[in-house]
Structure 1
């Protein structure tokens, strides 16, 4: 994964990893995704939901993102220029 930016499209390729219910809803554990260079947390979650349907959309509404290891919960927060994004649904237990 090189995290390159699309020169003419203003996009970048990131590795997205899904965990628990998010992986089940997406039907995969990981994928490479083109995201807008100015993506927000909410925009990225919406893009992933559009790719994988209503099941992921329902899970994504409750998810937080780890962006290169840093927790992001605010849907309006910019994602920045990550190499990896982890989609984390709420976990039970403690």
Structure 2
């Protein structure tokens, strides 16, 4: 299963440092996380996502069982 890791404010909002998931795409993962946790729902629109250590903003990308997704909140303003 893909592994999702949360950092900084995303870790605080999720209440955990990582979790396994079963979505088929990055977009589905984001939707599932938002549905599971209202704190994440508010934070995820401003986050960056790394797929296997590479920035990814293609939400229709298919996730594989060995993928690692890092959820990175904004680190500083403007």
Sort the TM-score into its range (normalised by shorter chain): 0.7 to 0.9
The alpha carbon displacement at 1:79 in A equals 4.3
Asked which structure has the greater CA Rg, the reply is: 1
Runs of 4+ in 1 over 4 A off after TM superposition: none
**TM-score, scaled relative to structure 1:** 0.70
State whether structure 2 residue 50 is matched by structure 1 residue 66: yes
* Unpaired segments ≥5 residues, structure 1: 1-12
Greater percentage in strand: 1
**TM-score, scaled relative to structure 2:** 0.82
RMSD: 1.7
Task: Report matched runs for 1:50-61 at 5 Å.
Answer: 50-51=35-36, 53-61=37-45
Greater percentage in helix: 2
The separation in 2 between residues aligned to 1:46 and 1:69, in whole angstroms, is 21
| Bigger RCO (CA 8 Å, 6+ sep) | 2
* Unpaired segments ≥5 residues, structure 2: none
